[in-house]
Amino acid sequence: MTFKELDLFYALAENPNVSEIAKEKGLSQSAVSLAIKSLEKDLGEKLFDRIGKKLILNERGRIFKDKTFNHFLALKDSKEFFKKEKLSGSLKIMASKTIGTFIIPQTIFDFLEQYPNVKIYKETKNSNEIIKNTLEGKIDIGFIETEIEHKNLIKEKIGEDELMIVSKEKYEKEVFIDTIKNKKWLLREEGSGTREIFLKTLGKYSDINIFMEFSGFIEIKNLLKNKDTITCISKYAVLEELKEKKLFEIKLKNFKFKRNFYLIYHKNKYKTELFKNFCKFIKKEINCIVSNI
């Protein structure tokens, strides 16, 4: 049985005139009759007595109506709710450390304020983990900061980032990588987009002294107070420290560390209204954020 069939059944239970119901519902009389016959076939019961051009509810029909009408009203209310409130439901997302910590939290907050019937469950992982979870269908949307090409992934660029080499020491001029390669480098762990872009860009000069590795930025920033420590980090992670002159950028000759931010999802992902509106909203907001930094 279908919602349409039930809707016609309850309408005819109140008004047995088939032609009037057909006109009210925008259907032909034959379409109404066929729908009722289909419902009766599914139930294995005749629900109406055919008297002239009218369908009169019989005793079995009255029992069916009494047993089901309240449930139908609840179902109808739910259907109307989702018609009016398309942006309902939940999304599971994962974001890389830079995006998840410094870029999208406020945007998610703003989205949820607009759509109170939405829930967004966010985890922060490194890019490799996000790609894996997206391919396995465990999340709806991923936000990464590394390059990826995969036949089962859709990738959309949502912004750009610049990685900086920073230290508590101030360098007045640009330096060559050779002059700082033996410093105590504090880097993100393997699998992070920041580390991958940095070392890949250095190429044959990537044999630096990796002194310690971390899963996040806070430990790195805290340890930069130590002598000879240095790191490569997103500009978004050190905006405050640079402004307050607690850390300083070291300009490196012949190297620029640029990368893109991407939104990814599985190619077979069903795009609900919530999914489409959230993606549109967050792409617009992130574009504003990165344009104003």
Domains and their CATH numbers in the chain: 3-84 (1.10.10.10), 89-160+261-291 (3.40.190.10), 161-259 (3.40.190.290)
Cα torsion angle, 104, 107, 113, 116, sign: negative
pLDDT reported for residue 292: 62
pLDDT reported for residue 287: 77
pLDDT reported for residue 70: 83
Mean pLDDT of 179-205: 92
Of 164, 147, 111, residue with least CA distance to 280: 111
Number of other residues whose CB lies within 10 A of the CB of residue 18? 22
| CA 44 centroid distance within chain | 45
pLDDT reported for residue 76: 76
Q: Tokens 């051009």 map to which residue?
A: 53
Of 221, 239, 242, residue with least CA distance to 230: 221
Q: What distance in Å separates the CA atoms of residue 59 and residue 76, rounded to the nearest whole number?
A: 25
Tokens of 162: 């610049």
Mean pLDDT of 249-258: 92
pLDDT reported for residue 178: 93
pLDDT reported for residue 86: 64
pLDDT at 286 over 60: yes
Kindly report the pTM of this predicted structure: 0.65
Residues 60-84 as b or e (16 or more Cβ within 10 Å = b):
ebeebbeeeeeeeeeeeeeeeeeee
How buried is residue 89: exposed, middle or buried, by Cβ count under 10 Å (0-12/13-18/19+)?
Answer: middle
Measured at the alpha carbon of residue 225, what is the angle toward residues 222 and 229, in degrees to the nearest 5?
Answer: 100
pLDDT reported for residue 122: 96
Strand partners, 118: 89
* Higher per-residue pLDDT: 72 or 141: 141
Number of other residues whose CB lies within 10 A of the CB of residue 207? 9
Q: Per mean pLDDT, which range of 17-31, 222-236, 260-274, 279-293 is the poorest?
A: 279-293
The model's confidence at residue 250, banded by pLDDT at 50, 70 and 90, is very high
Average pLDDT, the chain: 90
Per residue in 233-243, pLDDT (tens digit) is 999 999 999 99
Share of the chain above pLDDT 90, in %: 55
pLDDT at 229 over 90: yes
pLDDT reported for residue 163: 93
pLDDT reported for residue 225: 93
Of 133, 147, 238, residue with least CA distance to 196: 147
pLDDT at 129 over 70: yes
Mean pLDDT of 63-88: 77
pLDDT at 94 over 90: yes
* Higher per-residue pLDDT: 76 or 126: 126
Share of the chain above pLDDT 70, in %: 96
pLDDT reported for residue 290: 65
Q: Per mean pLDDT, which range of 106-110, 137-141, 245-249, 286-290 is the poorest?
A: 286-290
pLDDT reported for residue 215: 86
pLDDT at 84 over 60: no
Mean pLDDT of 40-69: 89
